[in-house]
Structure 1
Amino acid sequence: MTAEFPPSEATRVVQRISEILVSRNETIAVSEAACGGLLSSYLVSVPGASQWFHGGTMVYSLKSRLKLSGWSEQDIHDYTGPSVDVALRLARNLKFELGASYTLSETGYASRSPNLTSSNREQNVGVVCYGVSGPHEDISATHDTGSEDRCYNMQQFAIHGLKFLLEQLEKTHAERQTKEEVGPATDQKSLVSPSGAQPTKQKETDEPKTKKKRSNQP
């Protein structure tokens, strides 16, 4: 992991996130696990973050999810490891608890651990699952760094998570601008996102190792 803090790549992404949220008077919150707090650190490194960052949770252990993420003992018993379903549940719960416009969650394997509390032993190290819960829809994604270096993975998990969040913010930002330009009478079905993504289909991101899918809010 580079000694530069925050990494310039993360700073550029967070600055754009800040611009969009401020312009729309919206807020975000994050649920972290494998990132170890880097998501929050990168976000608050930008001046004025208190205007749009509600805060977040650090649910590194399963026990912490009993208190911070609305999990039950049965949930922990049934847990099989990081997944997009787990990520979405963490994002949805935090959105309910903190009332942010958007929530970003992550859960994954930054390195191998003999104390891994999971029955899913086939999950590759370097794989992280993301969930974003927004005002109108939820979307999930996975990313594979291709590395087993713990510190490198933690940093990349955070950076790619922020990029994933920004992608969703920019998509809705562009859609809103289009609606304003064409007027309220326009048939909503005729509005297509810049990426051409459909809510019910999986779609590859610009990152070749990142996969994502959408789901309707419960």
Structure 2
Amino acid sequence: MDVTERIGELAMDAGIRVAAAESLTGGQVCTALGATPGASDWFAGGVVAYTIETKNLVLGVHLDIDPCSAECARTMAAGVRDALEVDAAVATTGVGGPDPQDGHAPGTVFIGWARGSHVGAREFSFEGDDPEQIVEASTRAALEMLAEILDGMSEDEDR
């Protein structure tokens, strides 16, 4: 079973809906989730917010927040969770390269998550010769993180 099928199974078993907010990955997370069989039962959708202005307008990210930061990733995840009224969400932001941006090296990525009222983020440092490699690694990491938080939700219910 691949990670998107696992996400679907976990979401269906818990009776919840999920969403994604993307910057760096430009819709790749949503594409993967939406292509999963049965996604219409658990995937609410997502927001691609590439600029800080769009992140602010749609997801509530303050204009003075570093777009390549844990704070931005957490705010994006909470913003899409609230906007789409879902139980869990994941968000991606960072520098795809090939050049550094605002003092951050290419491959510096933050993936945020929101689960109920809880939010968090994790920093990643991906290697790659071109932005496509960074986007692919970031998409995979975001999907794995979503599966991880959904698995955590089912464990919480078991207690």
TM-score by shorter chain over 0.5: yes
In structure 2, the partner of 1:27 is 17
Aligned length: 159
In structure 1, the partner of 2:115 is 134
Residue 165 of structure 1 pairs with residue 146 of structure 2:
yes
Secondary structure of the structure 1 residue equivalent to 2:16: coil
The amino acid that maps onto 1:97 is A
Secondary structure of the structure 1 residue equivalent to 2:146: helix
The alpha carbon displacement at 1:113 in A equals 4.8
The alpha carbon displacement at 1:32 in A equals 0.3
Q: Aligned in 2, Cα 1:68/1:86: closer, same or farther, shift over 3 Å?
A: same
Deviations 1:44-69 (A, max 9, x none): 11111011111111101123224322
The alpha carbon displacement at 1:112 in A equals 3.2
The alpha carbon displacement at 1:124 in A equals 1.6
Residue 111 of structure 1 pairs with residue 97 of structure 2:
yes
In structure 2, the partner of 1:62 is 52
Provide structure 1 residue ranges, at least 5 long, that are not aligned to the other structure: 1-10, 180-218
Q: TM-score, normalised by structure 1?
A: 0.68
- Aligned mates of 2:129, 2:152 — CA distance in 1: 32
Specify which structure has the higher proportion of helix: 2
- Aligned mates of 1:62, 1:138 — CA distance in 2: 20
- Aligned mates of 2:78, 2:52 — CA distance in 1: 17
Residue 124 of structure 1 pairs with residue 114 of structure 2:
no
The alpha carbon displacement at 1:101 in A equals 0.5
**Higher RCO by CA contacts (8 Å cutoff, separation 6 or greater):** 2
Provide structure 2 residue ranges, at least 5 long, that are not aligned to the other structure: none
- Aligned mates of 1:103, 1:38 — CA distance in 2: 15
Secondary structure of the structure 2 residue equivalent to 1:63: helix
- Aligned mates of 2:121, 2:55 — CA distance in 1: 20
In structure 1, the partner of 2:33 is 43
* CA RMSD, Structure 1 to Structure 2 (Å): 1.8
- Aligned mates of 1:159, 1:103 — CA distance in 2: 15
Q: Structure 1 stretch 55-64 or stretch 166-175: which is displaced more?
A: 166-175
Task: Give the share of equivalent positions with the same residue, in percent.
Answer: 22
The alpha carbon displacement at 1:103 in A equals 1.1
Secondary structure of the structure 1 residue equivalent to 2:93: strand
Residue 93 of structure 1 pairs with residue 55 of structure 2:
no
**Do 2:29 and 2:139's aligned partners in 1 also have CA atoms closer than 8 Å?**
yes
**Structure with max Cα Rg:** 1
Residue 83 of structure 1 pairs with residue 45 of structure 2:
no
The alpha carbon displacement at 1:70 in A equals 2.8
